[in-house]
Amino acid sequence: MPVSAHAQAPGANRVVVALSVAALLALWGFAAIGVAPNRIVPGTPLKLAEVAGWYGALLGSLPLLALAALAWRPERARLKAALGLALALVMALPAGLALLGALALDPALPQARLGLGPALWLLLFLLALILIELRTRLGLGTAAGWLMVAGVALAWALIGWLASSWLAPLALWQEYRVRSEQFGAAVRYHLLLVGGAVGASLLLGTAIALAMRRSRRLERAGFTLLNVLQTIPSLALFGLLLAPLAWLAANVGWLHALGVRGIGWAPAFLALLGYSLLPMVRNTFVALSGVEAGVLEAARGMGMSRAQVFWQVRLPLALPVVLEGVRITTVQAIGLAAVAALIGAGGLGTFIFQGLGQAAMDLVLLGALPILAMALAADALLGALSRRLSPRGAHSQGGAE
């Protein structure tokens, strides 16, 4: 018996409604910006109503109220409108920040700095959650997600160019402008360190996993050793590597010529390699062992050699799970590479620890935000590639086509 349209209509999207209300409370309850006369003096936090007035704060709250209202009766058309509204709000955040800066900053203080308050960070975070929820609820694919990210990046770049004079006092921009060359070099070094460690762990981890599959005793000993290595704190591991590497640099000429020292890139690379081995070996071992025996038997029955079975059957079927290990390892290494700055390895962690030492939170953000962006991008890209290569993902893609 057919069910009426009224009976099929879903209830309110409580997730979007709750997130919209939380964003509204954050916008009113926390400071939207911070204003400081210079870099040394601590900033004064200002709420939205203190900068834009009560009427301006109410006007700025209307889009969030509209977002909650659209999600209250979530027909598909209303959810699409809510998605467009949330996306527009994220795109317009730099314009709102520029407007607040123009209202709050005194033109007589050319050295004044504008800081981002917790209300804007929370608003951005909650709007991102709303976009994820609406994209999932509407059944939009990965391509739509990347289009939204590209649209936001393009809108922010355009607003930054058009409102460059208003956004010039932004403290984060001031920190970047002073250190632009160092920042570019730090990003490249960070990526090189992470890429080298992950690439080496993939090769070494695959070799270890293959060896473990041949020996049960080696499997137990290998996983025990890797588990113990994973529990050592990063700073302690740097300290353990300092003396042996210093001795090798002093006694082995070609290592000294490569720049191996007790501090610097060498202990950072070895520590990242050590921390990356457990997830890489575990996922590779599980992936290779999890291929169904019937599939392998069918491949042998077709006359395939042992090498052909591995390269043409076992490895392609195991590849999605192996890529999950690469994804986990990459995201972990991106974060851990920041700690390597404490032993002179460079990278974006340098800005983080300099900012902590100077009590300059915007300098901390200059190092932390790119690390966050790298981790999110690596997680999304490798996760999408893993899903695309999995048999279920390939089948879904083929059905969609």
Residues near 284 by beta carbon (within 8 Å), at least 6 away in sequence = 205, 206, 209, 318, 321, 322, 325
**45: DSSP letter:** E
Q: Which residues of 172-185 are buried (b: 16+ CB within 10 A; e: fewer)?
A: bbbbbeebeeebee
For the beta sheet containing 113-116, the strands, ordered from the edge strand earlier in sequence to the opposite edge, are 44-47, 31-36, 113-116
Q: Answer for the pair 32, 100: CB distance below 8 angstroms, yes or no.
A: yes
Question: What pLDDT, in 10s, does the model give residues 13-22?
Answer: 889 999 999 9
pLDDT of residue 251 exceeding 50: yes
CA distances from 111 to 1, 32, 33, 41, 95 (A): 72, 20, 16, 11, 21
Average pLDDT, integer, range 47-74: 90
Closest CA to 390 of 330, 325, 321: 321
Question: What pLDDT, in 10s, does the model give residues 180-197?
Answer: 889 999 999 999 999 999
**What is the third-level CATH fold of 180-400?**
MetI-like fold (1.10.3720)
Return the domain boundaries, the chain.
Answer: 5-169, 180-400
More confident position, 3 or 380: 380
Q: What is the pTM of this model?
A: 0.83
Question: 3-state class of 297 per DSSP?
Answer: helix
More confident position, 20 or 297: 20
290: phi then psi, degrees, rounded to nearest 5: -90, 0
Q: Answer for the pair 245, 261: CB distance below 8 angstroms, yes or no.
A: yes
CA distances from 155 to 32, 101, 129 (A): 21, 19, 19
pLDDT of residue 119 exceeding 60: yes
Average pLDDT, integer, range 94-98: 90
Q: Which two tokens stand for residue 336?
A: 């851990």
Q: Which two tokens stand for residue 67?
A: 């977002």
228: phi then psi, degrees, rounded to nearest 5: -65, -45
Q: pLDDT confidence of 401, banded at 50, 70, 90?
A: very low
Residues near 179 by beta carbon (within 8 Å), at least 6 away in sequence = 351, 366
Average pLDDT, integer, range 169-183: 88
Residue with tokens 């974006």: 348
Task: Determine whether 279 is exposed, middle or buried from the number of CB atoms within 10 Å of its CB (0-12, 13-18, 19+).
Answer: buried
Q: Which two tokens stand for residue 357?
A: 């030492």
pLDDT of residue 315 exceeding 90: no
More confident position, 43 or 318: 318
Express the helix, strand and coil content of the chain in percent, nearest 5 each: 80, 5, 15
**346: DSSP letter:** -
Q: Answer for the pair 127, 35: CB distance below 8 angstroms, yes or no.
A: no
What percentage of residues in the chain have a pLDDT greater than 90? 36
Q: pLDDT confidence of 242, banded at 50, 70, 90?
A: confident
Average pLDDT, integer, range 272-294: 88
pLDDT of residue 108 exceeding 80: no
Gap between the Cα atoms of 347 and 194, Å rounded: 10
Average pLDDT, integer, range 244-249: 82
Question: What pLDDT, in 10s, does the model give residues 352-384?
Answer: 999 888 878 889 999 999 999 999 999 988 888
